[in-house]
Structure 1
């Protein structure tokens, strides 16, 4: 089933779900922006958030790990940093799996940038070591673990295979099997985005019933070339290779006005992660307009 952006937006407005938002404040990074954060996660008994730290006029960024003190997030002392964009984390077979997007100049044309997803693993942040690299030009590769230990992986090819960016899927038995070739060869999920729209997975989960649930994003251009990004959730059914029940769970208009990296990025929410809390609620962590980080308390989208 294909899910057009305009139909998902109409459905979201019809549901009129209650959204309570909060801007997150960061210190210790100078004049740089912090955005495209992860949801909070535990590292050696301490709650941390990974965030993309970047100057307003560049695409080269650092991933910094922050802890909260008195309502403000500050860099955690004696903790590794990584020269990456858009961090993500998951737990696979008891290990912390961390990754992000590595950006580098084309050695033959310094004005052209290349990118790829890089993966690290370890018992904690400071023990992380690189173990795999994704195909050139692919973002939004996400890993999750099934109850039986099998590892599911969502991909997002672009170009001849994926157009502007659609979701693929495959599974492996061990992290040792992960490499660019097997990621690039992943089959595509049955049609789910319009050809002129795109999206990907940001986090994936397996619930108690064994269902594969995903947090992601869907995006489109308008006639003026402005980008519009929306957080989405859906269920993926591996047995039939199909996405079901896709829906938007927040919109930029739910959040207060703020800074944007560029004029064409004002209407951008980039999903970072979900934290499931009490009373049927969830906290959604997002990058906003490629310049800020916010969280929203929303109805648990998977209930």
Structure 2
């Protein structure tokens, strides 16, 4: 499949385009119990573990960013911590499944080694047959969030990264392909090639969840973000599609904004307009449910038109190469 080369579209342009697109519908707040008065936000999509659906969620006090990740199960319409499940000292959990194995990760924070009073972060990865068997197997580079993995059709692994600084500015998306999880190292993540032309220098973004489409393309659920003139943050859920063989990719499209969700609390005034893409459940009827963290204080889901169907209607790609 031939994907056209893209040019960076700003948040303002993407918001205008969304006005003329099919609108999300059926917003719903997810109710979490069993964690005291702490907030649950930046959740994963539900996934199956030992025969039941589980959501991983970031749990923390409203006035702190000292976060833990819990695994929740649904009981009578409410999500409660799964009895006996591990709790991880992480932020912003995510998962994928590769060759039947659960790959789980999140953001680990630590005291910055050179800047006194500042926090550093890295992405940490675990693997196992189920939640109860998870063992750490990889760490990303210091200062890098939004590293994601996906198993490809030929058995190789696609890796999306988010370099910052000299290579990535405020945050761009990189891609590299590896033969297997055994090759997933700190050095590999540093070598990923940036997808040029996705973000303007004043804005940034990252991948949150990856979907292998029926024709071998990678459907990327992510976010694009910017500051306004008052220093407030604006985070928007977005999607694009990547060809892992040619590294061509489609234009970014927004799929929702904060105004599409139900009103609710915010962690801070500058975080009101924040939607953090957690996961997308494609339902097979032409729609998909987007699970998201809202305003760094709560979790909601909303239904959208499945954004990847139109790309699956294209001709298949050659995925016989690995690199």
Category of TM-score, reference length = shorter chain: over 0.9
What corresponds to 1:294 in structure 2? 300
The verdict on how the C-alpha distance between 1:23 and 1:161 changes in structure 2, with shifts beyond 3 A counting, is same
Aligned position for 2:316: none
CA deviations on 1:11-70 (whole Å, 9 max, x unpaired) are: 001124242100001000001000000000000111100000011121111000000111
* Bigger strand fraction: 1
Unaligned runs of 5+ in 1: none
Select which of 152, 155, 159 maps to 2:158: 152
Q: Report the CA distance shift for 1:110/1:45 in structure 2 as closer, same or farther (over 3 A).
A: farther
State the match for 2:281 in structure 1: 275
Give me the whole-angstrom Cα distance separating, in 2, the residues matched to 1:169 and 1:109.
Answer: 29
CA offset at residue 110 of structure 1?
5.4
Deviates more, 1:153-162 or 1:185-194: 185-194
How much has 1:244 moved relative to structure 2? 0.4
Report 1:82-93 matches (<5 A): 82-93=88-99
Which residue of 177, 184, 188 corresponds with 2:194? 188
| Separation in structure 1 between the aligned mates of residue 73 and residue 109 of structure 2, nearest angstrom | 26
What's the Cα RMSD here?
1.2
Equivalent residue for 1:258, pick from 264, 268, 272: 264
Structure 2's unaligned 5+ residue stretches are 1-5, 310-323
Conserved in 2, the CA contact under 8 Å of 1:190 and 1:243? no
**TM-score w.r.t. length of structure 1:** 0.97
Deviation track 1:105-153 (CA, whole Å, cap 9, x = no partner) reads 1356552101000000000001000000000000000000111111000
| CA distance in 2 between partners of 1:238 and 1:190 (Å) | 15
- TM-score norm. by structure 2 comes to 0.91
* Contact kept in structure 2, 1:32 and 1:54, CA below 8 Å: yes
Partner Cα separation in structure 2 for residue 31 and residue 218 of structure 1: 30
| Among 240, 244, 247, the residue aligned to 2:246 | 240
Any idea what the Cα deviations from partners look like across 1:138-179, whole Å, max 9, x if unmatched?
000000011111100000001111000000000111111111
